[in-house]
Structure 1
Amino acid sequence: MKTIKRMLDHMYWADGRILGALEESKTQDKDLLKLARHVAVAERVWLSRLQGKGSAQYSLWEETEDLTAIRKMFEENAEQYRIYIEGLEESALDEMVDYANQSGVPFRTSVRDILSQVLLHGQYHRGQINRGLRMESAEPIQVDYITFARPKRG
């Protein structure tokens, strides 16, 4: 459980950093903004499933220009994941969650695997966003786990 909590802390940190890089770049690239929103919504979708709620009300791939709304969603997600994980016992990681994907197809997946999906999915898309920033000649931001984990200097 300690590793999962630490990885979630990295996710909150990395979400904030990638959003900061998008804000600083002043990008107008709709695909990059759509990816950032997608990460935030996907985190929310998976949390809803973990909480036994439906997720059909969420649209994963909408365009947006509102980075403030995305930041708010990331912050709310972090708060809700912290509450969820603090109430989770180690033994619950192997419990199965029944849910339907966004197309209505039913699945059954362990809590552990869902949390792993959330952590890996966001990192994948943050890499895509960084690549897009570099292509715009903007400075990509370091979001690697090791950067998060290293002791701060200075």
Structure 2
Amino acid sequence: MKTIVRMMEHLFWANERLFTDLSGREDADTEIVRLLRHIVVAEEVWITRLEGNSSGHLILWGEAELPALREQIQNNERRYRDYIGRLTEEKLDATVRYSSQSGVPFQDTVRDILAHVALHGQYHRGQINRAVTARMGSPAVLDYIVFCRDEKEKG
């Protein structure tokens, strides 16, 4: 349970840090914002499924304005914190049945879904930082170890 919680804490921190970094840049282009939107919507898809609801109405790839993502990032974090706060070690191994965005049925454990959410976001944040480096210079530092150091500094 501790590892999953820690991975999700890193996700919340990295999303906030990336959003703040991109918001401070006037030249964040459509591709970069589109990737960030995808991360945010994918996180919403998974928490919706974990809550036992259909995610079919959510569109994974689309256009967005960066400021509009702020509230969605915060809402996702709140929902995940609420959900994780009710979990036990035993519940992490419960099976969740859901349908993909195209309607294909699947089942996975809560543990695997939460690990996927954390790793999926990290993958796309890496893509965003690569694009930022190519177009705008230095990207946001989102490494897990930097998150750990920040947490230690906060005490």
Query: Given the two structures, how large is their TM-score scaled by the length of structure 2?
Result: 0.94
Deviations 1:85-141 (A, max 9, x none): 011111011111100000111001110000010000000000111111111133201
Partner residue in 2 for 1:16: 16
Contact 1:21 1:139 in 2 (8 A): no
Counterpart secondary structure, 1:97: strand
* Deviation per residue, 1:64-90 (Å, 9 max, x gap): 12x222111110111110000011111
Q: Which runs of 5+ in 2 are unaligned?
A: none
The number of aligned residues is: 152
The two structures, once aligned, show a CA RMSD in angstroms of 1.2
Rounded to whole Å, the distance in 2 between the matches of 1:12 and 1:137 is 24
Kept in 2, the 8 Å contact 1:25–1:139? The answer is: no
Q: Which letter maps to 1:123?
A: Q
Identity %: 47
Query: Which amino acid in the other structure matches residue 133 of structure 1?
Result: V
Spell out the pairing of 1:1-154 with structure 2 (5 A cutoff). 1-65=1-65, 67-150=66-149, 151-152=152-153
**TM-score, normalisation: structure 1:** 0.95
Letter in 2 for 1:48: T
Which whole-Å CA distance do the structure 2 matches of 1:127 and 1:91 have between them?
32
2:76 alignment partner, SS class = helix
2:28 and 2:80 map into 1 onto residues whose CA distance is: 30
Contact between 2:18 and 2:142, CA under 8 Å: does it hold in 1?
yes
Q: What stretches of structure 1 move > 2 A for 4+ residues in a row? A: none
Q: Which runs of 5+ in 1 are unaligned?
A: none
Contact 1:100 1:106 in 2 (8 A): yes
